[in-house]
Amino acid sequence: MKIGLQFAMPAELHALPGARDWAPAETVSGIPIFHPAPGIVACAGGVSKVNAAMAAELLCLRYGVDLIVNAGVAGCFTDLPTGSLVVVSDFVQHDVDTTAVGDPIGLVSTVNQVSFPTWRPERCAALLKDAGFDAVTGRAATGDWFAVKGDRAAWIRDTFSPLLAEMEGGAIAQVCLRNGIGCVSVKSVSDHLFSDTQSEEYFDFGQALENLGRVVLPLAQALQKEEL
């Protein structure tokens, strides 16, 4: 199985062991592409949904991946400790709103879905455990907004019941759905939306990056042996 590793920020990609020394194989549409292991390609496609969708489509069409592993840091709606690993069970897009024409909140037209499930999250969590890493599963809410404490964050929590907030995964899951390939997502908790020290947490998330960097390649290599 050919795997695409998709991060948003270079700092997340650079959390992989030795990644700072890698030279890109090529750069396409401004996105450097790396080959960290046989059958695995990797990129940091940029922050937010449009950048994420561009990079995911690139991995699908140019590199012919069978599955994309979206990895990165994320804000948490609960009190999971910083650096906790979460295998995302499904994504919702909290900033999609066509309720004015009678649609449910969060409905993504064309595919007509609110929830975008990932590939066998419990199995992925078990693969991580087999490799010596503990992880929980839960929903992530995606949107083009850096989530912070306030009424909007409370509305997202109360409307969609997510564990995490982030800015790319829902778009990646949608691209994977349209291309008929698998989508896996593993996130490391970097900050807590309802904490009074959220900003300090976010700008000091070395532990979250370290934990993320330890698990991504082992998970991808374990997934290569699975049947989609």
Residue 46 lies in a domain: yes
Structural domain includes residue 81: yes
Q: For helices 169-179 and 49-61, give the axis angle rounded to 10 degrees.
A: 30
Work out the number of other CB atoms within 10 angstroms of the CB of residue 30.
10
Q: What is the pTM of this model?
A: 0.97
Residue 196 lies in a domain: yes
Q: Is residue 68 part of a domain?
A: yes
Range in 33-37, 48-52, 201-205 with the lowest mean pLDDT: 201-205
Whether residue 224 is contained in a domain is answered as: no
Of 177, 175, 188, 161, nearest to 75 by C-alpha is 188
Please check whether residue 83 is in contact with residue 44, taking contact to mean a CB–CB distance below 8 angstroms: no
Query: What is the CATH classification number for the domain harbouring 142?
Result: 3.40.50.1580
**Is 177 part of a structural domain of the chain?**
yes
Domain ranges, residue 70: 3-218
Tokens 């919702």 -> residue: 92
What amino acid occupies position 193?
L
Using CB atoms within 10 Å of the CB of residue 78, give its burial: 0 to 12 exposed, 13 to 18 middle, 19+ buried. Answer: middle
Q: ∠104-108-113 over CA atoms, to 5°?
A: 75
Q: Are 120 and 149 in contact (CB under 8 A)?
A: no
pLDDT in tens, 187-209: 999 999 999 999 899 888 899 99
Mean pLDDT of 41-54: 98
Q: Residue 110: inside a domain, yes or no?
A: yes
Number of structural domains, the chain?
1
pLDDT tens for residues 119-133? 999 999 999 999 999
- Is there a contact between 24 and 34 (Cβ–Cβ < 8 Å)? yes
Interval 203-219 mean pLDDT: 95
Q: Is residue 226 part of a domain?
A: no
E strand residue ranges, the chain: 3-7, 26-28, 31-37, 40-44, 67-76, 85-93, 116-117, 136-142, 164-166, 182-192
